[in-house]
Chain A
């Protein structure tokens, strides 16, 4: 039950912006959108997250549509080291044991290949 839909693969030229889309049409009001990436079967690495406002950090920008049914992760200047599988995840922010709190539901993600 990944709750998100992402393209299987994308590619991008080095130095260009990589725009990774994600659909989460059933997202609830208290669910955050998270992005992680995984390089060569290493442990997943946190990139960014947001609830409804656009967010930016040193790694990427996250653009969430007004209806929150989709989002786009933007790597502004992709490098070869950004080649990885990118996971878009929705995560409940709720209190208490026994709920789905904290669970990250990973789908298969998007394989981003950055080429020279």
Chain B
């Protein structure tokens, strides 16, 4: 059980380039999330998904796209990289039976992907 796995761990992009951050979880979680964390700040939600085929915007979605074709994978796409997207990106997942979060389920995070746009 690897938990939440993110790749790559480190990447340097040039302005205008595109790339995809990969995220996979092996816990059969229905919810998945992408967060970014700027230096000295807390995490901000970019996108999230409540299940395969369903995605929704978080607090800071501009400049990103996601897809959720399977339960296990939730890739984050940067189409035209900008310096403002230099950050650490965290993928996370959780399980909520029937979509009800009233049980207060736990969110598990990956180890992060460090992205620098120059």
Binding site for B on A (CB under 8 A): 2, 30, 32, 34, 41-46, 49-51, 87, 91-98, 101-109
14 contacts between A and B (CB under 8 A): A34-B104, A41-B37, A41-B88, A42-B112, A44-B109, A45-B109, A46-B106, A87-B42, A92-B101, A93-B104, A97-B99, A102-B31, A103-B58, A106-B43
Contact partners of B43 in chain A: CB under 8 A: 44, 104, 106
Among B10-18, B48-56, B65-73, B78-86, the stretch that binds chain A is B48-56
Which residues on B are within 8 Å of A, measured CB to CB?
4, 31, 33, 35, 37, 40-45, 48, 50, 54, 56, 58, 88, 90, 92, 94, 96, 98-104, 106-112
Between A98, A104, A107, the greatest number of chain B beta carbons within 10 A of the residue's beta carbon is seen for: A104
From residue A22, how far is it (CB to closest CB) to chain B in Å? Answer: 13
Partner of A97, one of B4, B54, B103, B107: B54
Q: List residues of chain A with CB within 8 A of the CB of B112.
A: 41-43
Tell me the total A-B contact number using a CB cutoff of 8 A: 76
Residues of B within 8 A of A102 (CB): 31, 33, 48, 50, 94, 96, 101, 107
Residue pair B88, A103 in contact (C-beta under 8 Å) = no
**Main secondary structure on A side of the interface with B:** loop
The answer to whether A95 touches B50 (Cβ under 8 A) is no
A43 touches B42 (CB 8 A): no
The reply to whether A43 and B90 contact each other, CB–CB distance below 8 Å, is yes
Extra 6 A-B pairs, beta carbons < 8 Å, given A30-B102, A41-B37: A2-B42, A43-B92, A49-B106, A51-B104, A93-B101, A97-B99
